[in-house]
Amino acid sequence: MATNILMPALSPTMEEGTLAKWLVKEGDTVASGDILAEIETDKATMEFEAVDDGVIGKLLVAEGTEGVKVNTAIAVLLEDGEDASDTKAAPEPQAKAAEPAATPVQETAPATATPRPAMEEVPAGTKMKTMTVREALREAMSEEMRANEDVYLMGEEVAEYQGAYKISQGMLDEFGPKRVIDTPITENGFTGIAVGSAFAGLRPIVEFMTFNFAMQAIDHIVNSAAKTLYMSGGQMGCPIVFRGANGAAARVGAQHSHDYATWYAQVPGLKVVMPYSAADAKGLLKSAIRDPNPVVFLENEILYGRSFEVPDLDDFTVPLGRARIWRQGSDVSIVSFGIGMQYALEAAEILAKDGIEAEVIDLRSIRPIDYETVLESVRKTNRCVTVEEGFPVCSIGNHLSATIMMQAFDYLDAPVINCTGKDVPMPYAANLEKLALVTTQEVVDAVKSVTYR
């Protein structure tokens, strides 16, 4: 019986890809394991293997086709003895199974389309260019490495493999193995080595494949990097950046989905940054690398592939510790950071249609926090909703609520509501994972609640 060969999902976040090249032609006999095609995702070009034996009856998608959705039929495989006229008989893929791995979030950044105040860091009239968060991070590191010989990048698969998430693609070529360094899977050890080298004045960028694995090294981040300046009475600092993907990706389960923002935000001596847009990713990473303190720089895998406008400047930086107002409004302040911004901005759009104008604030840095921007906004709107993907207990939202209560109590017309991830380890099942994450609807509901609508 003829079967359809379907466009495969080749990564947890892939929804479509480019059929770069066919390695078989119609009439070829293939065995399970033979390479059929090369498929390009946003992360990599990969080979796609046959899982069944048979003869290629028909190629349905021409090579070079972009944007082929996962699970589209791309070829027909005949069993021995069938001929190509059977191809019409190829059954549809089982419908239930064909649902692509759910990415619990929308792929486009809704906010890029929204009119918003210009970034304060950017002079009026600056030319902008569109780039992904991934490219922005790479540019930031490369520019800083060009400018300062003491900056180096270290981590698992950062060099020859070109980065597990392709952030450091091409950097080994430009900077060589002395400055782009592959490590064994020994987070505690290499983090300690990097911290030691920072004591000696180098400026390491330590990439954790994800922050889940930084748990192996958190002792050095907290006990060695954060406290040494203080313990040495100011003699010896630790200029270092710890960066990598943090929080949930898609369907990677309980041990690979943790958001550590609040953990690091608690530690005096650390600075903690969690950007949303590509411009902030770039500008903040450059500032983090120049900062004389240890900076924990929390990225997000789902955001890596998103495109944003980035100022086309030779040296664009964003100061640490300053929030950004994405959208002005008078009815409620929605305060968020990192991927939480996506829900905040989506909610603001929906609310605007109901006549509720939300002011949306991206904290960008969560240590130090730009309290003044938040308080000023709350004094104007008299209501506040916070949004983050991490757990509810001891969340950043909890901390902001307390701060607002202490410093702007008289301005509040409603209690502050914190929208967070649910208080459970991340489940693998697609339906449960969606429920575990914070949703746009929850933000909308919270705003309606504090505005008494």
Ligand X SMILES: Cc1ncc(C[n+]2csc(CCOP(=O)(O)OP(=O)(O)O)c2C)c(N)n1
Q: Which residues bind another protein (CB under 8 A)?
A: 6, 8-12, 14, 32-33, 35, 41, 43-49, 51, 70-71, 93-94, 96-102, 156-157, 160-161, 164, 182-186, 188-189, 212-213, 215-216, 249-256, 422-425, 427-432, 435-436
Catalytic pick from 135, 156, 256, 299?
Answer: 256
Among 139, 187, 301, 388, binds ligand X (CB under 6 A): 187
Residue 76 half-sphere exposure, CB side, CA atoms within 13 Å? 19
**Please, which residue, 184 or 268, has the CB nearer to ligand X?**
184
Determine if 213 is a binding residue for ligand X (CB under 6 A).
yes
CB of 209 to ligand X, least distance (A): 5
C-alpha pair distances (Å), 294 with each of 174, 218, 391, 407, 431 = 26, 13, 24, 29, 38
**Strand stretches in 330-440, DSSP E:** 332-336, 358-362, 365-367, 384-387, 417-419
CB of 189 to another protein, least distance (A): 6
3-state secondary structure of 175: helix
Neighbouring residues of 115: CB distance < 8 A, sequence distance ≥ 6: none
Work out what residue 89 binds among another protein, ligand X, none; the CB cut-off runs from 5 to 8 Å by kind: none
CB of 121 to another protein, least distance (A): 35
**Please, which residue, 216 or 328, has the CB nearer to ligand X?**
216
Catalytic pick from 187, 207, 299, 388?
Answer: 187
Q: Is 187 a catalytic residue?
A: yes
Closest CA to 407 of 438, 430, 451, 373: 373
113: exposed, middle or buried (Cβ count in 10 Å: 0-12, 13-18, 19+): exposed
**Please, which residue, 199 or 213, has the CB nearer to ligand X?**
213
Determine if 75 is a binding residue for ligand X (CB under 6 A).
no
**Please, which residue, 68 or 320, has the CB nearer to another protein?**
68
Query: Rounded to 5 degrees, what angle do the CA atoms 178, 319, 363 make?
Result: 110
Determine if 371 is a binding residue for ligand X (CB under 6 A).
no
CB of 450 to ligand X, least distance (A): 40
Q: Binding segment for ligand X among 29-37, 53-61, 209-217, 416-424 (CB under 6 A)?
A: 209-217
Among 74, 195, 209, 245, binds ligand X (CB under 6 A): 209
CB of 156 to ligand X, least distance (A): 5
Neighbouring residues of 326: CB distance < 8 A, sequence distance ≥ 6: 111, 114, 116, 117, 341, 344, 345, 360, 361, 362
Residue type (1 letter), 441: Q
**Please, which residue, 197 or 216, has the CB nearer to ligand X?**
216
**Please, which residue, 158 or 356, has the CB nearer to ligand X?**
158
What is the biggest distance separating any 2 CA atoms in the chain, rounded to whole angstroms?
Answer: 82
Q: Is 256 a catalytic residue?
A: yes
CB of 397 to another protein, least distance (A): 20
Give me the sheet containing 65-69, strands edge to edge: 45-49, 35-40, 16-22, 65-69
The residue number whose beta carbon is nearest to ligand X equals 213
How far apart CA 275 and CA 418 sit, in angstroms, is 19
Q: 3-state SS of the chain: helix, strand, coil percent to 5?
A: 30, 25, 45
CB of 248 to ligand X, least distance (A): 15
In DSSP terms, 130 is beta-bridged to: 309
Q: 343: which 2 tokens?
A: 């829900």
Residue type (1 letter), 150: D
Q: Binding segment for ligand X among 46-54, 190-198, 208-216, 300-308 (CB under 6 A)?
A: 208-216
Determine if 301 is a binding residue for ligand X (CB under 6 A).
no
Positions 150 through 169 that interact with ligand X (CB under 6 A): 156
Q: Which residues are catalytic?
A: 187, 256
Residues that bind ligand X (CB under 6 A): 156, 185, 187, 209, 213, 216
